[in-house]
Amino acid sequence: MNISEPKKPRGRPSAFNYDEALQKALMVFWSRGYEGASMAELTEAMGINRPSIYAAYGNKEELFCKALEKYMVGPTAYVAAAMREPTARQVVEAFLTKSAEFLADENTPRGCMIAIGSLFSGADADQVKQALIAYRRGYETALKERFDLAKSQNDLHKSVNTADLAKYVATVHQGMSVQATGDATKEELLAVVHQALKNWPT
């Protein structure tokens, strides 16, 4: 008497952990960029098929934007903590120092997902490009607002242009991110931070 194995039911795919799968997608996007990450790589990393990805997260652009939101509240949470430092100089020192440690961390992809992604997103991914630009500008806006507060508290001289200073700090950070993708060490990035702080307005 032959006993056949029970057939797997058709229909809905087996359950998966939404947050864990999204974390895996984040790591693919972070290391490969939006355009460099193929759907084949994403499905393999996430452990679910393409229809399940579309059903749970939307298309590739929507998946990237959800991964980007997760990146903002997870790996880069140190930025918000830096903004709470008591002086503007300490804000920048904490922000750039933590960035040097973060960007050169051997346990995660090199560089900043936002800074690098905004440089290399093509015209066919406008939603992604605009989201990255918005997050990057958000960093600058947060810095400017913190510097405005510092001026009101006489922590920065009244002649300081806070928009220009915020742009300068953001540019240093973006440059550090590019350097990190080229295998710059933490020590090398910290040397950049030290040089930038020498130019702090007095």
Domain 18-72 sits in CATH at 1.10.10.60
Q: What is the pLDDT of residue 9?
A: 38
| Rounded Cα distance, 130 and 35, in Å | 14
Stretch among 121-125, 165-169, 193-197 having the lowest mean pLDDT: 121-125
| Rounded Cα distance, 64 and 66, in Å | 5
In the chain, count of helices (H) and strands (E)?
A: 10, 0
79-102: pLDDT as tens digits: 999 999 999 999 999 999 999 999
Sketch the domain layout of the chain as residue ranges. 18-72, 76-197
The pTM assigned to this predicted structure is 0.82
Residue 18: other Cβ atoms inside 10 A? 12
43-56: pLDDT as tens digits: 999 999 999 999 99
Domain 76-197 sits in CATH at 1.10.357.10
